[in-house]
Amino acid sequence: MCHVIVTCRSMLWTLLSIVVAFAELIAFMSADWLIGTAKGRSGAEPDDRSGGSSEPYHPTLGIYARCIRNPGVQHVPRETLCGPYAENFGEIASGFWQATAIFLAVGIFILCTVALVSVFTMCVQSIMKKSLFNVCGLLQGIAGLFLILGLILYPAGWGCQKAVGYCGHYASAYKPGDCSLGWAFYTAIGGTVLTFICAVFSAQAEIATSSDKVQEEIEEGKNLICLL
């Protein structure tokens, strides 16, 4: 029989695990890792009647995606066009960014798996006498290491030709040149920090769900156990 056990610490750990997985996934898919130098519309003239704004804009560049100003495609109403610049893995601008993509993808896959499993820990707390909280915490720690490796390698690719085109000729490894860092990069860093917090907090969730009070309520025959 399944005993649904809900405690504040286990619920908080579950919510954080889900938030971290989504945050890292969104950051990875975003083009807002580097914010390029201001550019004007190509070929824009003072009497340009195309309807597009001639004000400078800042293109953005991600690991495999980019956002640029709409060059005048009339059937596309948006001011900017965003999408992958690389049609396959080999076209990613830098070998360092290819490694970053691999490390981040592995870390995010682990985090998404843990986020899915964390939902079921309210009903199943152990498998083969192994605590799911402890196993998930270990996996989150491993995922955090993969994320750190990816984030360390990412700035090494700032000297690639594509990054130089966005950030100017002063861009080089670990020097973004005229570019500034976008929200996706900071989100990835924040998500990595939260990943390790989740790994530590999983131990507290394990303690809360295996406390004497929980065992007493199970022995009383209760199937739904909610504790603060």
Whole-number Å distance between alpha carbons of 99 and 60: 20
Whole-number Å distance between alpha carbons of 190 and 23: 9
pLDDT digits (tens, 9 = 90+) for 105-158: 999 999 999 999 988 877 776 677 778 888 999 999 999 999 999 999 999 999
* pLDDT grade for 193, boundaries at 50, 70 and 90: very high
Domain coverage including residue 193: 4-34+93-226
On whether the CB atoms of residues 54 and 41 are closer than 8 A, the answer is yes
Whole-number Å distance between alpha carbons of 103 and 150: 5
- How many domains are contained in the chain? 1
Question: Is 55 contained in some domain?
Answer: no
Question: Is 102 contained in some domain?
Answer: yes
On whether the CB atoms of residues 69 and 80 are closer than 8 A, the answer is yes
| Per-residue confidence (pLDDT) for residue 60, from 0 to 100 | 93
Strands of 20-155 (E only): list them.
Answer: 34-35, 60-61, 65-69, 80-84, 126-127, 130-131
On whether the CB atoms of residues 111 and 17 are closer than 8 A, the answer is yes
On whether the CB atoms of residues 92 and 98 are closer than 8 A, the answer is yes
179-199 mean pLDDT: 96
On whether the CB atoms of residues 225 and 214 are closer than 8 A, the answer is yes
Question: Is 80 contained in some domain?
Answer: no
Q: What is the CATH number of the domain that holds 191?
A: 1.20.140.150
Question: Is 16 contained in some domain?
Answer: yes
On whether the CB atoms of residues 113 and 105 are closer than 8 A, the answer is no
Q: In Å, how far are 26, 54, 60, 96, 187 from 80, measured between CA atoms?
A: 19, 13, 10, 27, 22
When comparing pLDDT for 76 and 140, which is higher?
140
pLDDT digits (tens, 9 = 90+) for 15-59: 999 999 999 999 999 999 999 887 765 533 333 434 445 567 789
Specify which residues 7 forms β-bridges with. Answer: 227
Question: Is 206 contained in some domain?
Answer: yes
Question: Is 139 contained in some domain?
Answer: yes
Question: Is 60 contained in some domain?
Answer: no
Vertex 87: Cα angle to 93 and 53 (nearest 5): 80
Question: Is 187 contained in some domain?
Answer: yes
